[in-house]
């Protein structure tokens, strides 16, 4: 039994959740449940990123006190995570007093690598990121993600000397001590690392007051990313919790590809500066697109995850986001695709299989002794350990489709009609055993449906009154 620590990116609370936010949670939760199946002890963080200009500006636009504004939105995120049945164990808000104190301690401990200097350059509030001259020139001074001109800054700031850590970070990435997934992003990150200047890690209070104060310098607040990245260790009690070292380093940190650069450069630099080991896996997933386009308020294609959840239930949501949203590539969400996956796959492949097998076993009073279906195949384990969740899901789904073929070929209803009871028993036993073995492997993906199916086939089997995945569901 191992101790496994899993983390998710903490979303900005400058609005309510959209469907893209579900990806981190679905992947991390699937991985956490997989480890629990293997008997590991799991600690699983989630939280909200509540400082920075982006949030302060939004609150100002709405004429709300910033704290009230973040309280309201943080609740929306927490509710959403709960609705997704995410099995997190620890939740952090960056406005928690205990987090802020710990971040200040982190700053103090990094002080040998911090210096004050004048910053002259650009900033994108949408990305909450300082922009290099090269990027500014390449983009014509307009952020390609936010379609807004970069802000020009001339400020006295604190800098973090990333150059002190570059060699060590490069070595950790190349040797896979800190494995970057998918593999093809490694090269991209190594290039960014070479180009990476020292990072400005504070803003003058006169420009931004909504942040953690820099220790011993009331004129400055911390850069939001320094504060946010620290959450992964503050939430498990760095520096003083006695069991901190039992959990850190994280086994896996899940982030979107858009924020991998912060996690693969600034974050390891901070950890090395603190004398801490690096995370074992940085898993960067692709983006959810809507109708082939990036979701954006101005295009008006932002999909509300609560609406999706309420339309076909939680299992359908997790099914789509873990199977049809590819783990590493960008993938599309459309209502048509969603409905199709629900009707043709969940309802037809899985729902009908369960219904047919349960009805046959019930009608013929067949009792199944199940002793051997809590096993994971080697191929499944290899895919899950490699964070290939959508591929692992495909693998299990093939088993479900295989069982559908077998039931059509072996025709247990004919055996029943002909009174071939022994043959019928063996046939149903094998099919139900196959189903339950597949369902065991499905349980990290769609835990609610898996629990219901296991329940149906436990003890005396009775025909479910309501199908698992009713059609024309609204
Ligand atoms: N606050 C930072 C993260 C700090 S972690 C120390 C942030 N917040 S975010 O709200 O913009 O994004 C939160 C997570 O959601 C990130 O992992 C991001 O990649 C992910 N996604 C945001 N939009 C997404 C899609 N459209 N599709 C998939 N994931 C998306 O970045």
Strand, coil or helix: what is 21?
Answer: helix
Give the contacts of 146 (CB within 8 A, at least 6 positions apart).
124, 126, 127
CATH number belonging to domain 334-456 = 1.10.730.10
Confidence of residue 203 (pLDDT cuts 50, 70, 90): very high
Pocket of ligand 1, beta carbon within 6 A: 9-12, 20-21, 23-24, 49, 228-229, 231, 255-256, 258-259, 287-288, 295
Confidence of residue 372 (pLDDT cuts 50, 70, 90): low
For residue 103, the CA-to-ligand 1 centroid distance in Å is 21
- Which of 231-240, 298-307, 405-414, 443-452 is least confident? 298-307
Lookup result for tokens 């690598």: 113
Give the contacts of 333 (CB within 8 A, at least 6 positions apart).
19, 288, 289, 290, 303, 308, 320, 325
Q: pTM, whole model, 2 decimals?
A: 0.96
For residue 9, the CA-to-ligand 1 centroid distance in Å is 6
Ligand 1 mutation pick, 18, 20, 260, max ligand atoms within 8 A of CB: 20
For residue 467, the CA-to-ligand 1 centroid distance in Å is 36
Q: Is the pLDDT of residue 460 over 80?
A: yes
Q: Is the pLDDT of residue 291 over 80?
A: yes
The angle that helices 389-410 and 378-385 make with each other, rounded to 10 degrees, is: 160
- Supply the pLDDT for residue 473: 56
pLDDT tens digits, one per residue of 398-435: 999 999 999 999 999 999 999 999 999 999 999 999 99
Tell me the catalytic residues: 18, 21, 124, 127, 143, 146, 294, 297
pLDDT tens digits, one per residue of 359-370: 999 998 887 766
Q: Where are the domains of the chain?
A: 334-456
For residue 385, the CA-to-ligand 1 centroid distance in Å is 23
pLDDT tens digits, one per residue of 147-179: 899 999 999 999 999 999 999 999 999 999 999
pLDDT tens digits, one per residue of 427-450: 999 999 999 999 999 999 999 999
Strand, coil or helix: what is 213?
Answer: strand
Q: Are 438 and 448 in contact (CB under 8 A)?
A: no
Residue whose CA is at the smallest distance from ligand 1 atom 6 = 229
**3-state SS track over the chain:** CCEEEEEECCCECCCCCCHHHHHHHHHHHHHHHHHHHCCCEEEEEEEEECCCHHHHHHHHHCCCCHHHHHHHHHHHHHHHHHHCCCCCCEEEECCCHHHHHHHHHHHHHCHHHEEEEEEEEEEECCCCEEECHHHHHHHCCECCCCCCECEEEEEEEEEECHHHCHHHHHHHHHCCCCEEECCCHHHHHHHHHHHCCCEECEEECCCCCCCCECCCCCCEEECHHHHHHCHHHHCCCCCCCCCHHHHCCCCEEEEEHHHHHHHHHHHHHHHHHCCCCCCCEEEEECCEEECCEECCCCCCCCCCHHHHHHHHHHHHHHHHHHHHCCCCCCEEECHHHHHHHHHHHHHHHHHHHHHHHHHHHHHCCCCCCCCCCCCCCHHHHHHHHCCCHHHHHHHHHHHHHHHHHHHHHHCHHHHHHCCCHHHHHHHHHHHHHHHHHHHHHHCCCCHHHHHHHHHHCCCCCCCCCCCCCCCCCC
Q: Are 73 and 15 in contact (CB under 8 A)?
A: yes
Residue 445 sits at φ, ψ, to 5 deg, of -90, -55
Taking the C-alpha atoms of residue 322 and residue 290, their distance in angstroms, rounded to an integer, is 16
- Considering the chain, what percentage of its residues have pLDDT values greater than 90? 89
- Token pair recorded at residue 373: 């279906």
Q: Are 383 and 391 in contact (CB under 8 A)?
A: yes
Q: Which of these, 284, 435, 428, lies nearest to 349 by C-alpha position?
A: 435
């Amino acid at each position: 039994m191992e101790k496994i620590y899993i983390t998710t990116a903490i979303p900005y609370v400058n609005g309510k959740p959209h469907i893209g936010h579900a990806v981190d949670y679905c992947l991390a939760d699937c991985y956490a449940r997989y480890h629990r199946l293997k008997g590991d002890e799991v600690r699983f963080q989630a939280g909200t990123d509540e400082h920075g200009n982006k949030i302060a500006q939004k609150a100002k636009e709405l004429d709300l006190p910033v704290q009230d504004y973040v309280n309201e939105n943080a609740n929306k995120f927490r509710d959403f995570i709960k609705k997704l049945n995410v099995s997190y164990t620890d939740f952090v808000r960056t406005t928690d007093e205990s987090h802020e104190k710990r971040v200040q301690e982190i700053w103090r401990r990094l002080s040998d690598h911090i210096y004050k200097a004048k910053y002259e350059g650009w900033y994108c509030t949408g990305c909450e990121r300082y922009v290099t001259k090269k990027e500014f020139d390449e983009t014509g001074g307009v952020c390609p993600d936010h379609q807004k001109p970069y802000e020009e800054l001339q400020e006295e700031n604190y800098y973090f000397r990333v150059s002190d850590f570059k060699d060590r970070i490069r070595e950790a990435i190349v040797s896979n001590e800190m494995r970057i997934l998918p593999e093809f992003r490694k090269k991209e990150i190594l290039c960014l690392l070479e180009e990476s200047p020292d990072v400005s890690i504070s803003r003058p209070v006169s420009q931004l007051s909504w942040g953690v104060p820099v220790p011993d310098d009331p004129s400055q607040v911390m850069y939001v990313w320094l504060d946010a990245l620290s959450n992964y260790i503050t939430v498990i009690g760095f520096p003083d919790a006695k069991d901190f070292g039992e959990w850190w380093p994280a086994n896996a940190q899940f982030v979107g590809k858009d924020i991998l650069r912060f996690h693969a450069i600034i974050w390891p630099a901070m950890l090395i500066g603190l004398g801490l080991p690096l995370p074992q896996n940085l898993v960067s997933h692709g983006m959810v697109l809507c109708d082939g386009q990036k979701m954006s308020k101005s295009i008006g294609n932002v999909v509300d995850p609560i609406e999706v959840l309420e339309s076909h239930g939680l299992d359908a949501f997790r099914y789509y986001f873990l199977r049809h949203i590819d783990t590493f590539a960008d993938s599309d969400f459309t209502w048509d695709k969603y409905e199709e996956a629900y009707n043709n796959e969940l309802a037809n492949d899985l729902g009908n299989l369960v219904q047919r097998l349960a009805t046959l076993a019930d009608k013929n009073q067949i009792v199944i002794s199940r002793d051997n279906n809590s096993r994971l195949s080697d191929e499944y384990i290899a895919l899950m350990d490699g964070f290939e969740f959508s591929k692992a899901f495909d693998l299990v789904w093939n088993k479900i489709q295989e069982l559908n073929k077998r039931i059509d070929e072996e025709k247990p209803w004919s055996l029943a009609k002909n009174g071939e009871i022994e043959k019928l028993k063996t046939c149903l036993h094998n099919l139900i055993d196959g189903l339950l073995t597949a369902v065991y492997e499905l349980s990290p993906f769609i835990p609610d449906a898996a629990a219901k199916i296991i329940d149906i086939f436990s003890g005396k089997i009775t025909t479910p009154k309501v199908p698992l995945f009713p059609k024309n569901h609204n």
